[in-house]
Amino acid sequence: MAEKTIDLKDFIREVPDFPKAGILFRDITPLLADAGALAAAIDALSDPFVDAGVDVVAAVEARGFIFG
């Protein structure tokens, strides 16, 4: 059976003029609310490093903690 691919862009909501005029905020909460999309995002972020011997990932941006 062929594996279904998920287009993660479908789970990113664009909010124009937030938090101020001229900014296009990309809201990831729809992605976080969908278990399949969240798993696909985590796989996409981690797959390139599976054989790299990575022990720790550090991030400054707080939303990255969800995926770490």
Report the predicted TM-score, pTM, of the whole model to 2 decimal places.
0.72
User: What is the spatial distance between Cα 37 and Cα 6, in angstroms, rounded to a whole number?
Assistant: 7
pLDDT one-digit tens code per residue, 5-39: 899 999 999 999 999 999 999 999 999 999 999 99
Spatial CA neighbour of 6 closest among 32, 44, 45, 50: 44
User: What is the spatial distance between Cα 13 and Cα 49, in angstroms, rounded to a whole number?
Assistant: 28
Res 63: pLDDT = 59
The average pLDDT across 36-56 equals: 92
Res 31: pLDDT = 95
- Tell me the backbone φ, ψ of residue 14, rounded to 5 degrees: -95, 125
